[in-house]
Amino acid sequence: MNLPRLPIAAELFAQWQRARGERIGPASRPFSRAWEELLEDARLVSATERSDAERDARAMEAGGWAELKPVRYRPHLIDRILIPLAMEVGWGEAFGFVAPTDEEARQIREFAWEPALSFVREARLNVPFMELRQLNDFIKDGACNREIVPIKERSLQLFGDEKRLDALLVSALFREGRLDERHDLRCEVIGVPLGWKRGPSTAAAQPILVIENAATWHSYSCWNVERGLFSAVVYGDGNRFVEGIRHLQDIFQELGGLRRVFYFGDLDAAGLQIPQRASAKAAVHTLPRVEPHLPSYRWLLELGRGKGVVWEAGVEARREDCEWLGELSGEAWEILAAGQRLAQEHVSLEFLQSLPVSAQA
């Protein structure tokens, strides 16, 4: 099993690293995390992401990499996940973190480190001397004068492995007051680019619409070709929209300027929190705020009336999340407060194509 490729495993390991990275001697108790807290920390909040995370966690348990503790009286739900003590070495090896040998420890203590890395003499990082030396050489050779590039490019330059810096980034090496990827290594994490389809030429000046899930994105893209309501229909891909919102700049450039940004997603806690977190990120990049596409949410509420699905393992619903929906907030809160959710797929392509032109406002 390739643990680094599993988002839930990567977050669990990162937290294990922070808890165990500088301990002295072996641990006496297994490291564990509450499942819901781990999902939130990993920002796996959409229905698809949570389903994938549960599938991966159960595969990890089947392979002996983890143990899952069920919710009392609800054995189909996960309460906690833990790393067995016997598997801690294996987890470290899987992510490339192995305790330095005695010789490496001596080298780390005695080497003339650059000021930015001087803390490694005392820290217990489980990072090989050679990798620390490669970081030191880069800083020594005038890193401060380099362009800020994607982290995977810098990682490949430093280690010959484009993913190594991603792993190191969540280790004790980058704790507060130690290394900083932008300042010391001149690199940054780049969110996943946003897939999108341009609208017809008659819609060139119209707003753009971001859709949370792939099936509904496809349906709205097809419908937009016919009706020309949006200059572009963008695939938000669940939680990835939050980090990827910076790529709206590229879409606006292609379209010829800024436009209003509307969003339509699942009616559940996660589906409402994603666009609001993305909107906060948009402000950092001087992009337009993310607004709800109220016609779509109104259709969802009408089509989903009486069809809400109980969402026992969802992110906790909050009344304030619904305020983003304005005039629809009260009706939306009634559904969430009842522990239910509505999937955006209720607004199907067949429904969209049946709408008269007068219903598209």
What is the C-alpha to C-alpha distance for residues 54 and 88, in angstroms, rounded to an integer? Answer: 21
144 and 49 part of one domain: no
Confidence class for position 24, pLDDT limits 50, 70, 90: very low
Looking at residue 49, which CATH number applies to its domain?
A: 1.10.10
What is the C-alpha to C-alpha distance for residues 167 and 169, in angstroms, rounded to an integer? Answer: 5
350 and 335 part of one domain: yes
pLDDT digits (tens, 9 = 90+) for 82-134: 999 999 889 988 888 877 888 998 999 999 999 999 999 988 778 889 999 99
Q: Range of 69's domain? A: 1-95
Between 316 and 208, the higher pLDDT residue: 208
250 and 150 part of one domain: no
What is the C-alpha to C-alpha distance for residues 120 and 21, in angstroms, rounded to an integer? Answer: 12
182 and 236 part of one domain: no
Q: By the 8 A CB rule, do 153 and 183 touch?
A: no
211 and 350 part of one domain: yes
What is the percent of the chain with per-residue pLDDT over 90, rounded to a whole number? 56
Provide the 3-class DSSP secondary structure of residue 68: strand
219 and 166 part of one domain: no
Q: By the 8 A CB rule, do 163 and 13 touch?
A: no
pLDDT digits (tens, 9 = 90+) for 203-234: 999 999 999 998 999 999 999 999 999 999 99
159 and 17 part of one domain: no
Q: What is the pLDDT of residue 37?
A: 86
Looking at residue 246, which CATH number applies to its domain?
A: 3.40.1360.10
Span 268-294, average pLDDT: 92
95, 117, 137 — which closes off a domain? 95
95, 124, 150 — which closes off a domain? 95
Q: Provide the angle, in degrees to the nearest 10, between the axes of the packed helices 102-110 and 129-140.
A: 20
312 and 199 part of one domain: yes
43, 70, 95 — which closes off a domain? 95
List helix spans (H) across the chain: 7-20, 35-41, 47-62, 88-94, 102-110, 129-140, 151-159, 164-169, 181-184, 214-227, 240-244, 248-255, 269-284, 294-303, 319-322, 329-337, 349-354
Whether the pLDDT of residue 303 is over 80: the answer is yes
183 and 271 part of one domain: no
350 and 266 part of one domain: yes
182 and 203 part of one domain: no
Averaged pLDDT of the chain: 88
How many domains, in total, are found in the chain? Answer: 3
Whether the pLDDT of residue 25 is over 80: the answer is no
Q: Which of 133-137, 160-164, 265-269, 311-315 has the lowest mean pLDDT?
A: 311-315
**DSSP structure class, residue 323:** G
Cβ within 8 Å of residue 9, ≥6 positions away: 3, 56, 60, 65
Confidence class for position 290, pLDDT limits 50, 70, 90: very high
Span 144-169, average pLDDT: 89
Whether the pLDDT of residue 9 is over 60: the answer is yes
What is the C-alpha to C-alpha distance for residues 263 and 290, in angstroms, rounded to an integer? Answer: 7
55 and 136 part of one domain: no
Q: Give the sign of the dihedral formed by CA 343, CA 245, CA 230, CA 321.
A: positive
CA atoms within 13 A on the CB side of 49: 26
